[in-house]
Amino acid sequence: MNGLLTDDQRSALEEFRAFADAEIAPHADPAHRAQRTEPAVVKALADTGWMGLAIPAEYGGLGRDAVQLGLLAGELGRACSSIRSLLTVHTMVAHAIGRWGSREQRERWLPRLATGELTAALAVSEPGAGSDMAAVATALTREGEGWRLDGHKKWITYGETADLLLVVGRSAEGPTAVLVERGTPGLRTALITDLIGIRASMTADVWFDGCAVPGENLLGRPGLGVSHVAGAALDLGRYTVAWGSVGILDACLAASVDYAGRREAFGAPIKEHQLVRRMVSTMYADRQAARLLCLEAGRLRDARDPGALAAASTAKYFASTAAVRAASDTVQIHGANGCGPDYPAQRLLGDAKVMEVIEGSTQLHQTGLAEYAFQESARARRPHADAVTADAVRRDR
Amino acid sequence: MATDAKARIAHYLSGFFPVTDLKDDDDLFALGFVSSMFAMQLVTFVEHEFDVVVENEDLELDNFRSIGALEAFVGRKLAATAAS
């Protein structure tokens, strides 16, 4: 992959890798068992400045490109999917504020999100609204100059600890996004435990009981909370989850290669057994392919190419499903050890399965990718704009 | 210029709508073929294709409702950029 990166990206990758190995990986299994992220780990990440890696420099961030953000998500994902999910939801909210926030909102929130003084979470899912975001029922009612918020959000990653929540509720105009600060009277959260994966992700139920939201906390126009605000956030979320899945593939491959080289069965290391080699080779090829899809999505994102959305969806779909295959095979290669607590294999399997569910389920992406294929085909059949324009110019003459 | 913009918009939209001749004033949102990410795809296309920035205050549905509306919107954004 190094040949496909610029010098800055390559240098950043080395930094991310060293940090993930030293500061994140040692905490992954303990955090998985304790089902919580220690504040010291969040502080270590915040101290690097990378919570604001992609936030523009004019708002206190590092203003790095999308490829570097992806590389960071990949390295955090290799070390600990819960911490990678913190980066994902935090950057989703920062991106939505940067994309659709007023100058006042950007100046108010982004510098503190960039330093990690504040952490953010996206509160869209509800008990009855997951993939179908437009079905949100949390009520946003105009009250004076502001809004009143009533409802129940569920499966909110880092909802238990986030200082700032981007909430999509339903107003008279349709789905509408507002920013809600922790400490707002009527806001209550409760940790959800015993998840299958990302068990340290402080995922929470969030209740809003008559929360008063100031008018200046409206993000984007009323009615555009899903199509534009959550849409922009989700697109970035898919991108970093895709990279996080590449990180899981990296971790699976490293664990499998190491174990297969040390474990002996029938008088030889199990890496000599052809069916074990088959699992490792599939894992290796999947990791390479997933990484290339993610790099392409990042390159298109940096070029502001409209094809970036389809590329992120493709990368997320492929990388997350490949991560599940790889994690399942990692458990298989480890045998009984893969099922127990002494090796990371079972953590990787649970984490990988979550990747297939969040930021658009596998089935949602499959449906969407077919649509992208039909779009490409339809455009290919239609004369290109240049030809259309040339015809029009000839007619005008 | 106007014709060029219209042709580029029509070509991009032809991928979304299974109609052979999308008319300038056909209501894109009433045709019913758009996906959940269509809004962001359209914003990204306009920004990339015409090198403009779509701001929050630009998000009037009427700016994005049809080929003609998009062409007029792009024209206004380009004129504003040139004047600044």
State pLDDT tens for residues A304-323: 999 999 999 999 999 999 99
Phi first, then psi: what are they for A221, rounded to 5°? -80, 150
- Encoded amino acid at A394, one letter: R
Task: Tell me the helix, strand and coil percentages in chain B, rounded to 5.
Answer: 65, 0, 35
Name the minimum distance, in Å, from the CA of A203 to any CA of chain B: 25
Report d(CA A395, CA A387) in Å as an integer: 12
Closest CA to A347 of A247, A262, A237, A204: A247
pLDDT by residue for chain B (84 residues), tens digit each? 456 899 999 888 888 776 667 888 888 877 766 666 888 889 999 999 999 999 988 988 889 889 999 999 999 999 988 887
| Contact call for B39 and A371, based on CB within 8 A | no
Q: Name the least confident of A37-51, A193-207, A362-376, B21-35.
A: B21-35
Question: Given CA atoms A266, A269, A274, A280 in this order, what sign does their dihedral have?
Answer: positive
Average per-residue pLDDT in chain B? 85
* Preferred mutation among A304, A314, A369 to probe B, highest tally of B CBs within 10 A: A304
Q: What residues make up the domain containing B37?
A: 2-83
Are A224 and B39 within 8 A, CB to CB? yes
Lowest-pLDDT choice from A64-68, A104-108, B53-57: B53-57
Range with lowest mean pLDDT among A28-37, A373-382, B43-52: A373-382
Predicted confidence (pLDDT) at residue A391 exceeds the cutoff of 60? no
pLDDT of the residue at B34: 64
Q: How many domains does chain B have?
A: 1
Given a cut of 70, is residue A394 above it in pLDDT?
A: no
- Residue-level pLDDT at A69: 98
> Token pair of A63, please?
């203003």
Query: Quick one: which of A98, A41, A95 has its CA closest to A69?
Result: A95
Mean pLDDT of chain A: 94
pLDDT band at A37 (very low <50, low <70, confident <90, very high): very high
Residue type for position A3: G
CA distance A37 to A148: 31
- Residue A392: its pLDDT value, please? 46
Residue A111: pLDDT above 70? yes
3-state percent helix, strand, coil for chain A, nearest multiple of 5:
60, 15, 25
Best of A131, A133, A221 to mutate (most B CBs within 10 Å, chain B) = A221
The stretch A218-231 carries a mean pLDDT of 93
B12 neighbourhood in chain A, CB within 8 Å: 306, 379, 385
Q: What is the CATH number of the domain that holds B72?
A: 1.10.1200.10
pLDDT value, residue A395: 43
Q: Is residue A24 within 8 Å of A82, Cβ to Cβ?
A: no
Residues of A forming the active site: 359
Residue A397 reports pLDDT greater than 50: no
Is residue A150 scored above 70 in pLDDT?
A: yes
Please name every residue paired with A207 in a beta bridge, in sequence order, or none if there are none: A152, A188
Residue at B42: amino acid letter = L
List the domains of chain A with CATH numbers. 2-119 (1.10.540.10), 122-223 (2.40.110.10), 226-381 (1.20.140.10)
Question: What confidence tens digit (pLDDT) does each residue in A162-217 have?
Answer: 999 999 999 999 999 999 999 999 999 999 999 999 999 999 999 999 999 999 99
| CA distance, residue A53 to nearest chain B CA (Å) | 22
Instruction: Determine the residue of chain B that is closest to A395 in CA distance.
Output: B3
Question: What residues of chain A lie within 8 A of the CB of B15, using their CB?
Answer: 374-376, 378-379
Residues of chain A above pLDDT 70, percent = 96
Question: How far separated are the first and last CA of chain A, in Å rounded?
Answer: 52
Residue A221 in this model has a pLDDT that exceeds 60:
yes
